[in-house]
């Protein structure tokens, strides 16, 4: 049985926008590694993608990381 291995390029950690985090956090990512993004508590997704995959040419599948904005809360009982 022949085992095929890929010795492609690695991906550097992507840029992380403010008020967001990603998992797993590694120094270098290998071909087909997937990272997941999330917004910090009190923030919600404004644009971008929830996940990215390291491609065989050393770039990320979705170049636009998630961007998070502060959640707007409506207070129905607030007194101004």
**pTM of the entire structure?**
0.74
Return the pLDDT at 8.
Answer: 64
Residue ranges of domains in the chain, CATH in brackets: 20-70 (2.10.70.10)
Burial (CB count <10 Å: 0-12, 13-18, 19+), residue 75: exposed
Return the pLDDT at 2.
Answer: 44
Return the pLDDT at 65.
Answer: 78
Encode the chain (80 residues) as per-residue pLDDT tens digits.
Answer: 444 344 568 999 988 889 999 999 999 999 999 999 999 999 999 999 999 999 999 999 987 878 999 988 776 666 65
């Amino acid at each position: 049985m022949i085992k095929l291995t890929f010795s492609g390029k690695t991906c550097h950690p992507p840029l992380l926008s403010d008020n967001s985090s990603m998992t797993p956090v590694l120094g270098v990512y290998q071909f087909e590694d997937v990272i997941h993004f999330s917004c910090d508590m009190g923030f919600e997704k404004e644009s971008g993608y929830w996940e990215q995959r390291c491609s065989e040419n050393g770039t990320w599948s979705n170049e636009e990381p998630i961007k998070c904005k502060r959640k707007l809360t409506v207070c129905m009982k607030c007194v101004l």
